[in-house]
Amino acid sequence: MDILILILELLVVVGAIFMGTRTSGIGLGTWGLVGTAIIVFVFQQAPGAAPVDAVFIVLTVVTAASVMQAAGGIDWLVSIAAKAIRSNPKMVTFAAPFFSFIFTVGAGTGNIFYPLIPVIYDVAYQQRIRPERPLAVAAVASQVGIICSPVSAAVASMVVLLVPHGFQIGSLLAIMWPASIVGLAVAALVMLRKGKDLDDDPEFQRRLADGRIEPPADTAVQVPKTGPISAVIFLIGVLAIIAFGFFDVLRPVIETADDGTVSRVSVAVIIQVVMGLVAGLIFLICRVPAANVPKQSTFPAGVVGAIALFGIAWLANTFVKANEPLIVNGLGSLVAGTSAFLGALIFALVLFLVAMLTTSQSSATNAIVPIGLTIGLTASTIAGLWPAVMGIYALPANGSQVATAGFDQTGTTTLGKYVVDHSFQLPNLVFIVTACVVGTILATFIS
């Protein structure tokens, strides 16, 4: 009977994810809440812990990033990238993902990639380099940066989940950064040989003959004087969070009033407080009108992400809490009956598939990482395999994929004819395999 209930509740979880994916955007969180309601009211299960810390982190980071964007900080960062990429156009397939990755890490959101798309396309087209090569790997890098950013929703989720197991944000980033950089470098190398050269591409030649190819658009943006100031303030905040994560001694010591125990302020709280301070400083120094902040592209995207995270994570927590003994016995015996390698491989595959279905790194993290911890995988092993959340790019359903393919007037960057044969599939899979291997190796030395 217990197994039947678990299966029925699992169908509710899968159904909620499916409906949320079809609805997209805020619908993912809404259907997550619907699934939670069904498990609580129909199956009479106690609700799991709501992901309050993770949601608050997302909201404070989104606020700070939106204030920075309103002050021109993102435009300034993009202008720097444009100059660097154009200074050495032959290396665009490596430079494009590098800047895409770095800027996403700094801003905590992949939205910063959108202004870079025309720059990358422009340079590749002018050099007669197949635009698919730098564009596809740069798009992948824009999402990889999220799992390496101390101010992203995905990292916030991992921090909340792993810190109780003694695994701090500093250890997580110490694995993610080198694993991701190596993974992206290998993906860029592979993309150097992807497809025919531009002048030999039949689709490009057809568009050229039909007069459908337009000159690359002018991507010059007028950056206000407050742009560099706001970006520097924001990046200082990011560096401060990294420092607090790496060095526990920097975090304030507090005493609990009830029992007098002493502990340090958690990294989750530190992120919220620092990002709030960053937003306040930018408001004060750059004199940003508060009414302009919600109008920035980062703000609505971040709020939608927070709601999606809340619904899906709460659903996952409720399901895991209700079925923890069966999950431990079932998946635990499955993993125990195999080698450590195969057990880790099963976890990575499930993480990949859930990320593919939810198209959300933070949602997949909140849904699967607790199960991995429950069945006995160590926090360091889970961290090493975390790049598998790039399963979000397995299907061409991500906004950055659609925008990248749409901007490539040559037709070399596509969303595929058969769903899975899109331009981003190869660099994404190469990245996942490489980063998971490197991450797993590093995890043996970091705890």
Digit-coded pLDDT (tens) for 178-228: 999 999 999 999 999 999 988 888 988 888 888 777 655 555 667 899 999
Q: Residue 420's pLDDT band (boundaries 50, 70, 90)? A: confident
Average pLDDT over residues 258-282: 83
Percentage of the chain beyond pLDDT 70 is 91
- Choose from 68-77, 225-234, 358-367 the range with maximum mean pLDDT: 225-234
Residue type, 10: L
The Cα 188–Cα 303 span in angstroms is 32
Q: Is the pLDDT of residue 404 over 90?
A: no
Q: Is the pLDDT of residue 430 over 90?
A: yes
| Least confidently predicted of 20-29, 70-79, 355-364, 379-388 | 20-29
Scored b (16 or more CB within 10 A) or e, 251-269 reads: beeeeeeeeeeeeeebbbb
Give me the pLDDT at residue 215, please: 57
Query: What are the backbone dihedrals phi and psi of residue 56, each rounded to the nearest 5 degrees, phi first?
Result: -65, -35
The domain segmentation of the chain, as residue ranges, is 2-443
Given a contact cutoff of 8 angstroms between Cβ atoms, the answer to whether 263 and 254 are in contact is yes
The Cα 404–Cα 423 span in angstroms is 10
* Residue whose pair of structure tokens reads 């824009």 in the numeric block: 142
Given a contact cutoff of 8 angstroms between Cβ atoms, the answer to whether 9 and 46 are in contact is no
The Cα 158–Cα 370 span in angstroms is 10
pTM above 0.85, yes or no: no
The token pair at 360 is 């959300």
* Residue whose pair of structure tokens reads 């429950």 in the numeric block: 374
pLDDT tens readout for residues 101-153: 988 887 777 767 876 787 788 788 878 889 999 999 999 999 999 999 987 88
* Residue whose pair of structure tokens reads 């003994």 in the numeric block: 325
Total residue count of the chain as it appears in this document? 447
Considering the chain, what is the average pLDDT of its residues?
84
